[in-house]
């Protein structure tokens, strides 16, 4: 059987919960923090440095998460201090408690420049109402007017609601770096698409890959366009990163992702991630024989009903995919009188 067709396997059927930890390799612990959303958890990891720990990703900043971490530190982590926190990317479920580990535990933060700058900026950008730019962006995506009106009356989710303040100072991770952690040498390779400059770590000494949200076992990472960069092409960034990381993939790699279960069979999973997005783009291109907005594409793109809890992530992902077709010259677009972009198949 070739590496490209090897089956994916899940060495652990049941994830850790609460203050539990599972040793997935010598000196590497897998733990899980709860999230108050449909994707109800984030995986975090601890690498044994002998007299201290390196933590990879942190979970949200909440009283509950801090309590779980205190139990983990006193329990599976044996009371040893956390000397370093590696953050794979800037999303709040991964960077949320990095500042707490810095200020309360004296840990050093290692992450990418983009993740640190985004985290610092978003932590300081608290909004009590949706901005005019955001409202215009929603209209341009074809969001239903009633939903826009409802959201305009609500306080939006703020990054600072679930992310502890980040003190000044961090150590930069960049493409091509080699770092020492947990008794291993790790090569740093950057992903993109789900988050800009997303760090992944590839062990030189055994089969471990710490993948964050760049490579997940059974779900595809959200790829979205936002009002902050309305003409971005994260789908193009994602596909480029997947093709590049695919050249590193081995069948025996044990991939430790930010969500769901660790797995082996990485070449197969990389091919799935790439092919699934190309298939979605092909379906979407055919769908545009009838002109529509990004908000009209949920059915063909996701092939399931999207509920209120998923609507926001579905919308930004739909924008990303239809906009990728436009940027590639596979679709045309024109602005409707109400401000919505209408996309159509380009003959």
CATH assignment of the domain containing 141: 3.60.15.10
Determine, yes or no, domain membership for 312: no
pLDDT at 59: 98
Alpha helices in the chain (DSSP H): 63-74, 92-95, 98-105, 113-124, 132-140, 145-152, 234-246, 266-287, 298-302, 311-327
Determine, yes or no, domain membership for 56: yes
Per run of 10 residues, the mean pLDDT along the chain (length 347 residues) is 71 96 98 94 98 98 97 98 98 98 97 98 93 96 92 94 96 98 98 98 98 96 96 98 98 98 98 96 96 95 87 95 97 95 90
Determine, yes or no, domain membership for 321: no
pLDDT at 1: 38
pLDDT at 346: 81
Number of domains composing the chain: 1
Total residues found in the chain within this entry? 347
Contact present, 344 and 331 (Cβ < 8 Å):
yes
Determine, yes or no, domain membership for 32: yes
Determine, yes or no, domain membership for 102: yes
DSSP state of 9: B
pLDDT at 120: 96
Determine, yes or no, domain membership for 306: no
| C-alpha neighbours within 13 Å on the C-beta side of residue 120 | 12
pLDDT at 6: 79
Dihedral sign (CA 192, 195, 199, 203): negative
Determine, yes or no, domain membership for 343: no
Cα–Cα separations (whole angstroms), residue 244 to 4, 26, 88, 241, 325: 15, 28, 18, 5, 21
Residue 80 buriedness (CB in 10 A; 0-12 / 13-18 / 19+): middle
Determine, yes or no, domain membership for 309: no
pLDDT at 45: 98
Domain that holds residue 210: 3-286
Q: Give DSSP secondary structure letters for 227-272.
A: TTSTT--HHHHHHHHHHHHHTT--TT-EEEESSS--BB-HHHHHHH
Q: How far is Cα 106 from Cα 141, in angstroms, rounded to an integer?
A: 44
């Amino acid at each position: 059987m070739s590496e490209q067709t090897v089956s994916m396997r899940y060495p652990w059927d049941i994830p850790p919960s609460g203050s539990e930890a599972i040793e997935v390799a010598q000196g590497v612990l897998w733990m899980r923090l709860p999230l108050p959303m449909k994707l109800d958890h984030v995986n975090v990891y601890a690498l044994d440095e002998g007299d201290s720990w390196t933590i990879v990703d942190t979970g949200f900043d909440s009283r509950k998460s801090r309590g779980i971490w205190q139990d983990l530190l006193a329990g599976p982590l044996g009371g040893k201090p956390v000397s370093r926190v590696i953050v794979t990317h800037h999303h709040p479920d991964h960077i949320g408690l990095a500042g707490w580990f810095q200020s309360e535990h004296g840990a050093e933060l290692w992450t990418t420049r983009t993740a640190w700058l985004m985290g610092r900026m978003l932590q300081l950008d608290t909004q009590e109402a949706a901005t005019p730019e955001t409202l215009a962006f929603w209209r341009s995506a074809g969001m239903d007017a009633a939903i826009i009106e409802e959201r305009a009356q609500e306080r939006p989710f703020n990054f600072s609601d679930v992310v502890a303040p980040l003190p000044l100072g961090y150590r930069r991770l960049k493409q091509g770096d080699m770092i020492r952690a947990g008794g291993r040498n790790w090569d740093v390779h950057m992903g993109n698409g789900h988050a800009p400059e997303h760090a992944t770590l590839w062990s030189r000494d055994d089969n471990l890959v710490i993948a964050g949200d760049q490579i997940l076992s059974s779900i595809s990472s959200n790829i979205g366009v936002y009002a902050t960069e309305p003409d971005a092409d994260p789908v193009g960034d994602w596909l480029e990163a997947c093709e590049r990381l695919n050249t590193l993939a081995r069948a025996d790699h044990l991939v430790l992702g930010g969500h769901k279960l660790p797995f082996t069979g990485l070449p197969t999973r990389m091919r799935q991630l790439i092919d699934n997005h190309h298939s979605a783009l092909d379906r979407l291109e055919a769908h545009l024989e009838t002109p529509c907005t990004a908000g009209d594409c949920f059915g063909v793109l996701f092939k399931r009903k999207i509920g209120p809890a998923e609507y926001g992530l579905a919308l930004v992902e739909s924008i990303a995919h239809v906009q990728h077709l436009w940027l590639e010259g596979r679709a045309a677009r024109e602005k409707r009188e109400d401000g919505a972009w209408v996309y159509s198949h380009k003959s």
